[in-house]
Structure formats: C-alpha cells, structure tokens
A and B are shown apart, each in its own frame.
Chain A
Amino acid sequence: MKTYLPTKFIVERDPERCIQCQVCVNQCTFDAHYYDSQDNMVRSREENCVSCHRCVVFCPTGALTIRRNLLDYRENYNWRPEVIEDIIKQAETGGVLLTGMGDDKGQRIYWDHLLLNASQVTNPSIDPLREPMELTTYLGRKPDKVELDRGSLNLKTELAPQVKLEVPVMFSAMSYGAVSINVHESLARAATEVGTLWNTGEGGLHPRLYQYGHNTIVQVASGRFGVHPEYLDVARVIEIKIGQGAKPGIGGHLPGEKVSAEVSMTRMIPQGTDALSPAPQHDIYSIEDLAQLVYALKEATNYTKPVSVKIAAVHNSAAIASGMVRAGADIIVLDGLRGATGAAPKIIRDNVGIPIEMALASVDSRLRQEGIRYQASIVVSGGIRNSGDVAKAIALGADAVYIGTAALVALGCTVCQQCHTGRCAWGICTTDLALTRRVNPDLGARRLANLLRGWGLELKDILGGMGINALESLRGNRLHLRGVGLTDTELEILGVRMAGS
C-alpha cells in the first residue's frame, strides 16, 4: 500500500559547493543519496533520510545540510505530528513500532533541576590542578567494620572482592550484535587505558577481547548467550541482567540478519537464526531465585569476582534493591527511563520505567534506612550526559555511573534512533562487515579515552570547588545539592533542599 507518511527530513545540497564526488552516496546507508549518471548529478531521495549527519560530516566541501521537513499540521496539543505518524505506521504494518536509543520524550530531567555547591569563605575550595584530588572508587561489598587481630595492628578482616575504578564512569552494556566488534574493541581498550570497566552486554565476549578481561564486566542475561566457563573466567565482574531502562520487563530480539558468522560464534547460536532473549530469566521468578543464581555464579568463580545485578528502574525499585542486596549482589545497577537500546518497542521505551534520579535517591535512602547501604555498591545509568550529571549522581548516592549513549556519541552517533535497522551509517550499531570498518578501534579507543579524561578533569574541578579532595566525601552527601523548579514532593524524594534554603 502507498504510505501516507510525510518525509521527515529535507536534504539541502548547495550546488555551488557540490563537486559531484559521490562521497555522500557511498557513505549513506539509507539510500538517501544517489548518483544520476545521465544528468551527472548527485541527487537525494529525501524520504529515506534519517538525519544521521554522516554525509554532512564527510562531504569534503561542506555542501550538505539536513533540515526538518517543516510540514505544518493544524495546531493540536493532543494530536501531535509524531502521534499521528505512529498511527499511520501501525495502520500500514500492523506491527509493534520499533525504535532505537533512549526515551526522547519530555519527562522531567532532574539533573537539570539540581545544582551543585561550592565553598566560599567558611571553608576553602581546593585547587585540583595543584593539590591532590582523588576520584578513585572501589566497587564491591563492604563490611560494617574493620577488625584487627587482638592486641595488634594486624588486619583480620578479609574484604569481598573489590574492583578499582580510576574514574567513577564505566561503559554500559551494549551487546555484540547490537553494536559491532570494533565498538567493543574501542570500549575495551579505552576502559583499560583509563582504568575503568566496560560491559559486554548480553551478546557474549569475542575471544579477540579476552586480553582485556581485567577491565571487562560480562553479562549473564536471560538468553545466556556466550556464557561458558572461559567467559566467566576472564571477566572481572559478572553482571546478572534482569532488565534495562529502555524496555523494562520485556525480552530482546536480535534479528537473524544481524547474526553474522562472528556474532553466531560469540553467542554460540547458529548463524542467521534470530537471537531471542526471553523476558524474564527463566530461573529467576522470585527473589530467592536471584539469590540462587548469584551464589551459583560465585561458586562457579570461587568467590573471586563481584556479582552485579542490573534492573530497570521501576516503581518499587527501593524494595527490589533491598532484596537484591540481601540476595548477595555485590553491585546493584539501576537503569533509568532514558536508558538506550539497539531495538525496543517505542511505546515501552517511552512509557515504562522511572527517571534514574528518583530511583537512585529512593534506593540509596532505603538501603541506608535498613542499615545495608554498604553491602553493595550502586551504579546508575540512563541518560548520563556529562560530568555535571555524574557529580550529581554521586552526590545523590551512586558509587559510579554507566554511560551508553554518551559513549556512542563519542564514536560518532547522532542519536538518529535507527539502530534497530542495522544500517548505522557510522558503523556503530551494525554487524555488516563493510560498515563496521567505519569505526577504527585505534581512533575509537582514543575518542572514548578522551571523553573520560575530560570528564575526570571536570569532576576534579567540581570537587575542588566544593572543598572536597576525595570522591568518598561527595558520595551520598546530598547537602551539596539544591533543587530548582521542583515540587516539595520531588525535593523530598530526592532528599535535597530548595536553592536558597
């Protein structure tokens, strides 16, 4: 049937600048440019453009720009263009609308309503460029106290395994299959260089990357892809994935077209078959089952690695988190409403889950109330955009954050939300061998390391400004936050006062 969908983007090509070099034709994976050999002209098929900017960036003469097709509808606060277009799509396909990346709707972003403190007079700011400023973080279970041998200064306490991070930012789970092997390699190398960790996601770990095991978190997700003894053995941390912020409660689906030979080997499933991740983990139907799996993994690795459990931030996250800690998790991960994905139903992505700021605040408070906050470290993710967000997350109580979208943006992603098509022009969210070459791990690793380096320096500036020289002193220290434009209830849940009070 003919589609009723209007074109979303207009490609503007400046004829004065265009030299008909066809770079845009070669770079575009959505077939939005073509070369008309008869007229010797490069032209556009704008209805295919997704505004990923690949052509804009690579055009050698800067001849291109992409504009929204400003097709006006009659004003309607309720029936917005996107709402109308979604209905058209469903009428034409009868299917679930899929999308990629994270929730793009207008729910309140609490990071933008939280402000950080600085020292003035009553205590000095500390100079991060000249005096020591410590960002080092240790993730893992901590006891309530330290014990010494009777009458001596010899340490009796043995700590559960701890993982050292040089900066409180790690790379979030993005599966091989959702992203390419070159992206995985870039993440692994950057994490190793900076002294932090990256996460394999649920698609297994390619053997080429075993050498980075010391900085690798491996996931045991509902599909158990690639979960074999060596996988667990090389890892630094094992993460049980219950859910993720982009699609709480539902499973995953990597279409057979994306299951290439390499993906098949890594996931240990036949090539070309769909990779299906069930909605729940089929051996976890209740909290005691989680405890069972946690200890199964600890036994399998002889208690040498911390076990992390990741959930999507949902309404009773506080109670769930308490259960997770008591079930033996050494690290708990909360993935908020804005968490991204390679593919998810749009309606779930945008309507299910809660903002990470709220989840973090309530989980941190609840665990402290129960006296168990230090039995597990808290890691949060879901739309962390810059070092300001990181500092605020730490102040609310997080031990560290995961970044997913930000890391991909560092590699070139422009959040065009087409990941589920597997045609990422930037070579990021694809397993097409020709496209994956567009991410060079040497450069990718450097870009990611640069990002973390810049954020690390900014965090030091922020800490120094508030008279703190060790991250432990900001962690959970909500007195260093104030809210603006928030209701009393929001302030109460965040545990933060209004600016000026």
Chain B
Amino acid sequence: MKAINQVVRIDARGLHYRELNARLREVVSNGARKVVLQNIYGQRYIGTGLDKAVEIEIFGTPGNDLGAFMDGPRITVHGNAQDGCGNTMNSGELIIHGHAGDIIGLSARGGKLFIRDDVGYRAGIHMKEYQDRKPVVVIGGMAQDFLGEYMAGGILILLGLNLGEGEYHKAKFIGTGMHGGVIYLRGNVKDYQLGKEVSIAPLEERDYQILQKLVGEFAAHFGYEAAEILKHDFIKLFPRWLRPYGRLYAY
C-alpha cells in the first residue's frame, strides 16, 4: 500500500473482500480522498458503509453488491461490474465503463449510476424517491427484462446506443408495477413490451431539461457527444396510477 499525497493505491490481488474493505475504510478514515484499487477480481461490497465523498477507482471486475448501502463515495470501474451495483444506495456515484449485471440500483434512495454498456434483468427495481432525494440511473446500452420493476420514484434513462437504425429495444415487462418516478427511453418499444401499469407520454420542456443535464453527465463520463445522443427521439414512460392495485382486493 503506497500513500501518495491523498491518493492511496491498494493492490487487491489475493485479498479477501473483508480484508480489502477493511483497508479501504481505514485509509478513508485516515484522510485519503482518492483510492485506486488494482487487480480486483470478484471482491464484493466495495464501497459499502462508506459515507465520505471519497473517489474510488477500480481496475478489474468488482464482485456483487458494489456500493451497496453506499452514502457518498464516487466509484469508477474500468471494466464490467456484476449484480447488485448500488443496492439500496443513499447517495454517491457509480460510473461503470462496461456492462453491469442484474438488479442494479435495487431500492436505491438517492445517488447516480452511470453504466456505459448493457445491463441485465430488473435494473432499477423498486427505486424510491422522497422529497429532494431522487436516485438516477443512466444506461448507455440495452437492458434485459423487468427494467424499472416497481419503481416508486427516481429517474431511469435507457439510451440504447448500440441499437441499429429502426431497431426496437429488447426488454420486456418494462416498468411492471411502476407507481412512481419516470423512465426515459431513447428509441422505440412495442406495446407488448410494457408492463400494464405504464403509459407512454410525449416529452415536455421539463423532461428535455432533465435529459440535457443527465445525458450530458453520462456523455462526459464516457466520452460521448451529448448533442448526438439527444438528437434521437425519446419516449417517456410513467405510471398510470399511484395505487395500481386498488381494485384488486375485496372485503
């Protein structure tokens, strides 16, 4: 472990996640404001329990639950991530230069996730917002099924940058159970791909402002031209009811 000013490097080869995360917590509480983790191969819970606005750079493939319950750090992954990124996170940022697995942003309450490529199933499942705390997930590629499954708040943006001309998104059951928040899709979907709680609406001025800002951040992270991305049509998906299951129950 070398300390260079405030940047600390940790070689994680052979380290169990408990040891790695303990060291991480130690250097952060000792004042490190940037930590570089090298040779990461599957260690879990990196960034969990950290509540300072520290910058963490990861070289390798982090294991499950990256940034779970995180509250503040900004984690950049130079590679792909696995399942559970940003699980129940409170605040902070996850920037992934690659693809991610299932249930990213599960129950997130705040903070931002930027994924450059594709994601797996159930991305953004049950994200919630409360007053000014609004989680944000921006995905550059495609998502698999159950995107935004029962969202209760927040903003989910799916850019589909790897879709061909005129090609439709592939996800099914998009927004199933959604009762809060909003999903912006760049490109097109067929009706049968949407959950029954979801409707399509045209974008308004406010939506464009949001997209401008968030797509701008996404583009800056991954070296894209925001204007190019925003040229294409977006659709907005929103929940039809606050109480989607009100009529289901009797007596």
A131 touches B173 (CB 8 A): yes
A308 to chain B, nearest CB (A): 33
A457 touches B248 (CB 8 A): yes
Encode B163-189 as 1/0 by CB contact (under 8 A) with A: 000000000010011000000000000
B245 touches A132 (CB 8 A): no
Contacts of B150 in A (CB 8 A): 130
Categorize the interface residue count of chain A: under 10
Return the chain B residue nearest A132 by Cβ.
B173
Q: Does A129 touch B at the CB level, under 8 Å?
A: yes
A136 to chain B, nearest CB (A): 16
B176 touches A131 (CB 8 A): yes
A129 touches B173 (CB 8 A): no
B248 touches A130 (CB 8 A): no
B251 to chain A, nearest CB (A): 10
B38 to chain A, nearest CB (A): 35
Return the chain A residue nearest B195 by Cβ.
A130
Docked CA distance A132–B172 (Å): 11
Q: Does B146 touch A at the CB level, under 8 Å?
A: yes
Main secondary structure of the interface of A (DSSP, over half): loop
A181 to chain B, nearest CB (A): 30
With A129-B245, A130-B149, A130-B150 in contact, do A454 and B250 touch (Cβ < 8 Å)?
A: yes
Contacts of A129 in B (CB 8 A): 177, 244-245, 248
Docked CA distance A131–B147 (Å): 11
A421 to chain B, nearest CB (A): 33
A259 to chain B, nearest CB (A): 40
Docked CA distance A129–B150 (Å): 10
Encode A403-444 as 1/0 by CB contact (under 8 A) with B: 000000000000000000000000000000000000000000
Within 8 A of B (CB), among A128-162: 129-132
Contacts of B177 in A (CB 8 A): 127, 129-130
Contacts of B244 in A (CB 8 A): 129
Contacts of B149 in A (CB 8 A): 130-131
Return the chain A residue nearest B175 by Cβ.
A130
Contacts of A454 in B (CB 8 A): 250
Encode A107-143 as 1/0 by CB contact (under 8 A) with B: 0000000000000000000010111100000000000
A130 touches B250 (CB 8 A): no
Docked CA distance A131–B146 (Å): 8
A131 to chain B, nearest CB (A): 7
Return the chain A residue nearest B150 by Cβ.
A130
Docked CA distance A457–B248 (Å): 8
Docked CA distance A130–B197 (Å): 9
Return the chain A residue nearest B178 by Cβ.
A130
Docked CA distance A289–B247 (Å): 52
Return the chain A residue nearest B149 by Cβ.
A130
Contacts of A457 in B (CB 8 A): 248
B180 to chain A, nearest CB (A): 14
Docked CA distance A87–B150 (Å): 64
B43 to chain A, nearest CB (A): 24
B241 to chain A, nearest CB (A): 13
Within 8 A of A (CB), among B181-211: 195
Contacts of A130 in B (CB 8 A): 146, 149-150, 173, 176-177, 195
Contacts of B146 in A (CB 8 A): 130-131
Return the chain B residue nearest A454 by Cβ.
B250
Contacts of B173 in A (CB 8 A): 130-132
Contacts of A131 in B (CB 8 A): 146, 149, 173, 176
Return the chain B residue nearest A453 by Cβ.
B248
Docked CA distance A129–B241 (Å): 14
B198 to chain A, nearest CB (A): 11
**3 interchain residue pairs of minimum CB distance:** A130-B177, A130-B176, A130-B149
Q: Taking A130-B177, A132-B173, A454-B250 as given, write out 5 further A-B residue pairs in contact, using a Cβ cutoff of 8 Å, ordered by the A residue number.
A: A129-B177, A129-B244, A129-B248, A130-B146, A130-B195
Pairs A–B under 8 Å by Cβ, sample size 19: A127-B177, A129-B177, A129-B244, A129-B245, A129-B248, A130-B146, A130-B149, A130-B150, A130-B173, A130-B176, A130-B177, A130-B195, A131-B146, A131-B149, A131-B173, A131-B176, A132-B173, A454-B250, A457-B248
